[in-house]
């Protein structure tokens, strides 16, 4: 019988992070990409909570996890340390990690630097573009889309355009309304955040 | 894991990474953020993987 879902905040690596925890058994921690939050995986997490302890969270500066005072930029190492802090604080060790998109390199960094906290890592479409022969060329269409839309229509429209570019035009109706709204207001709060290179790889334009 | 209809840049990264760490990628249906459209599919693909690690 899955335990009731807990929605709360946890102190991790100097940040106050929103998380949702449910179920029991081996721990599975979801890490969302650059525009998403815990809500990305809420429906999948609910389905898996009959067998596992499932935790989703909003990365620092995203959605319900507010920016720490004076915080303006981040790194893969910082993001991975945040996840490590969650694993420790919520006693999830050893956890299986699922990282999607920009969550992929965060999971990879976690695997490299905190192996004792983990049982395994699963990466989906990891945004580790530095391994490509010419990352700048590969990401040029995306950069142009972001720059052009930002200039012409502002941050909210840019996130919409990016989501459609990464998926299709149906994505804006596939995303639950509350998650979409958090996603679309986020750029006004954290558009200056940049994920820098880390041992896990570069993430320019990561999503 | 790679979404079948994701952008080529992600497919290329997954190919590189899979070769580097010597694993066979799992292909899931849909586009990059397939879990928005198909939460059940993500749960279905993760369950046996996580279950395997629960036994180890």
Tens digits of residue pLDDT in A135-169: 999 999 999 999 999 999 999 999 999 999 999 99
pLDDT at A191: 42
Report CA torsion sign: A82, A85, A91, A96: positive
Of B2, B48, B9, which is closest to residue B26 (Cα–Cα)?
A: B2
Domain enclosing residue B30, as ranges: 2-55
Q: What is the CA radius of gyration of chain A?
A: 16
Q: How many domains does chain B have?
A: 1
Query: Which residues on chain A are in Cβ contact (under 8 Å) with B49?
Result: 96, 120, 122
- Whether residue B47 and residue A101 make contact (CB cut-off 8 A), yes or no, is no
Could you give the CA distance from residue A32 to residue A37 in angstroms, rounded to a whole number? 6
pLDDT at A190: 46
- Whether residue B36 and residue A122 make contact (CB cut-off 8 A), yes or no, is no
pLDDT at B55: 76
- A94 upstream amide cis, omega within 30 of 0: yes
pLDDT at A196: 39
Task: Tell me the pTM.
Answer: 0.91
CB B35, CB A44: distance < 8 Å: yes
Of A117, A98, A89, A105, which is closest to residue A19 (Cα–Cα)?
A: A89
pLDDT digits (tens, 9 = 90+) for B7-42: 999 999 999 999 999 999 999 999 999 999 999 999
Which residue in this structure is represented by tokens 């998926």? A167
pLDDT at A1: 57
pLDDT band for position B43 (50/70/90)?
very high
- Whether residue A125 and residue B53 make contact (CB cut-off 8 A), yes or no, is no
Could you give the CA distance from residue A111 to residue A117 in angstroms, rounded to a whole number? 8
pLDDT at A185: 84
- Whether residue A131 and residue B17 make contact (CB cut-off 8 A), yes or no, is yes
Q: Which residues of chain A have a pLDDT value below 50?
A: 189-207
- Whether residue A166 and residue B31 make contact (CB cut-off 8 A), yes or no, is yes
pLDDT at A3: 72
Candidates A26, A37, A39, A125: best to mutate against B (most CBs of B within 10 A) is: A125
Candidates B43, B45, B56: best to mutate against A (most CBs of A within 10 A) is: B43
Average pLDDT, chain B: 95
pLDDT digits (tens, 9 = 90+) for B16-25: 999 999 999 9
Q: What is the ipTM of this complex?
A: 0.97
Domains of chain A, each with CATH number or no CATH: 6-196 (3.40.50.1820)
CB half-sphere exposure, A63, CA atoms < 13 A: 23
């Amino acid at each position: 019988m899955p335990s009731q879902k807990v929605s709360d905040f946890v102190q991790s690596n100097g940040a106050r992070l929103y998380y949702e925890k449910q179920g029991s058994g081996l721990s599975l921690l979801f890490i969302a990409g650059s525009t998403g939050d815990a809500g990305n995986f809420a429906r999948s997490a609910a389905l898996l909570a009959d067998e596992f302890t499932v935790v989703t969270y909003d990365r620092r500066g995203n959605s319900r996890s507010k920016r720490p005072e004076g915080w303006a930029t981040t790194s893969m190492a910082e993001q991975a340390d945040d996840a490590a802090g969650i694993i420790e604080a919520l006693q999830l060790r050893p956890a299986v990690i699922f990282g999607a998109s920009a969550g992929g390199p965060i999971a990879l960094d976690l695997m490299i630097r905190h192996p004792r906290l983990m049982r395994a890592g699963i990466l989906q479409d990891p945004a580790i573009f530095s391994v490509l022969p010419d990352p700048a060329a590969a990401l040029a269409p995306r950069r142009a889309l972001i720059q052009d839309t930002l200039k012409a229509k502002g941050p909210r429209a840019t996130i919409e355009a990016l989501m459609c570019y990464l998926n299709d035009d149906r994505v804006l109706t596939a995303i639950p309304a509350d998650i979409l709204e958090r996603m679309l207001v986020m750029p006004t709060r954290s558009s200056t955040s940049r994920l820098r290179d880390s041992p896990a790889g570069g993430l320019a334009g990561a999503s | 894991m790679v979404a079948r209809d994701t952008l080529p840049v992600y497919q290329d990264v997954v190919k590189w990474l899979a070769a580097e760490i010597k694993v066979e990628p799992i292909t899931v249906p849909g586009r990059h953020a397939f879990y928005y459209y198909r939460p059940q599919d993500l749960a279905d693909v993760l369950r046996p993987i996580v279950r395997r690690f629960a036994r180890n």
